[in-house]
Structure 1
């Protein structure tokens, strides 16, 4: 999504590289209208964005815009306002794990084209040929993200097995300068959500299975997050009131 030139990080190729402070640290997020999140983030993300499930894998994402290529929560200064949650998927950038097919393990990579990666670093990737504390912290962060990604897959499997997913569509009504309806309703997205009706109709043993697996809190966080659709739509209307959104 953000990565233009990911390279496996190693002391030989990247000995002089590191990170510098940049004026617009989240500028790379401007073109991402939906960002993957892990199940442990649902509670924090639900206070800021709609949480929906997309694709055949039912990947959970935080919706940050209604148009492809437009994030409504990144300011002109390349920041995300303090009151909005920044997903771990974003915070790990410019690092990412990639699979090494030869050794069947994960390798830490860095986006060589990331604006904060430089050969005149304030914080180096390596010191005396060894990973710096900063790099080791990045490795641990990416390891934890991978663990949470796997836990998210297990959560989605639980929801599938309980047959709780339902397809939904979100639309909005364009309005003129006086606030009157203008034209036909515009569809923003088709997506998957957890059905509260199906949840309430579950047999007790199925509900207890979800509870015992720690899924209930995440389910209700997701349902709460869906209330943020109106917030996103209003931000879109303020940003480009005359334009109709494309499908998410």
Structure 2
């Protein structure tokens, strides 16, 4: 989650190019007025550092499979995002996950035989180009303050990603994750919408944790993250209602993949 896969591009990224003081000496970075890459994206990776802030706005779940990744749900069905309009502009002020704020930059491992990470960007984003608008990337051949700030943010994201991996490993070790299922009964319908394809904390197993394991999770800060996740699940019905209001509901009542 925290570094670019060697043979595949991460979510949102269409291409990756290493930032270079030679090739990009006269390039500038400008803020994106809209995030069209979000329009059809219903789930965004989330770090454990963000659970408390994100839980106020999004349901937080874990992806299916042996290597679960925390996800902030911006919609309950694939291709539906209830938090942005059709142009990719936020409808209301909400917490924006760091994964989104990091785009179009990314720390990536360019050589499989090296652990060194290089600052890269997506050249297709439209946020970085030659011109007079935006912040200079290099000044007198050296990284500008803007680039240094981006680098620091990306490094912090990597560190948060490592903490998230350890957090998920602790959940797996305690066998707290289970296959999730949420059933929502809409008005004027005789069949519920059933959402599966994700993982969530098993509250029964949480209650049955040994005292020493429970105490360790409280001391290392894991327990507040678990509760933030559990409380956030109540927002699934709000996201569902937003989809209904926007007329973006599927025609079937089985929605197997969140």
Alignment TM-score > 0.5, same fold: yes
Give the TM-score normalised by structure 1.
0.91
Aligned to 2:136: 124
1:205 aligned partner: 212
Which of structure 1's runs of 4+ aligned residues deviate more than 4 A?
none
Which whole-Å CA distance do the structure 2 matches of 1:241 and 1:35 have between them? 19
Q: Displacement of 1:198 after TM fit?
A: 1.3
Looking at structure 2, the residues matched to 43 and 37 of structure 1 have their Cα atoms a distance apart, in angstroms, of 11
Alignment partner of 1:38 is 2:47: yes
Q: Is the 8 A contact 1:80 1:86 kept in 2?
A: no
Q: 2:76 aligns to what?
A: 66
Aligned pairs for 1:1-248 within 5 A: 1-24=11-34, 26-55=35-64, 56-76=66-86, 78-101=88-111, 102-120=113-131, 121-174=133-186, 179-182=187-190, 184-240=191-247, 243-244=250-251, 246=255, 247-248=257-258
Match of 1:134, SS state, is helix
Matches of 2:196 and 2:101, distance apart in 1: 26
Relative distance call for 1:241 and 1:151 in structure 2 (3 A) is: closer
Alignment root-mean-square deviation, CA:
1.8
SS of the residue aligned with 2:22?
helix
TM-score for the superposition, normalised by structure 2: 0.87
Q: CA offsets, 1:163-195, max 9 Å, x none?
A: 111111123335xxxx4115x333333211112
* Distance in 2, Cα, partners of 1:82 & 1:130: 38
- Cα distance in 2 for residues equivalent to 1:103 and 1:180: 58
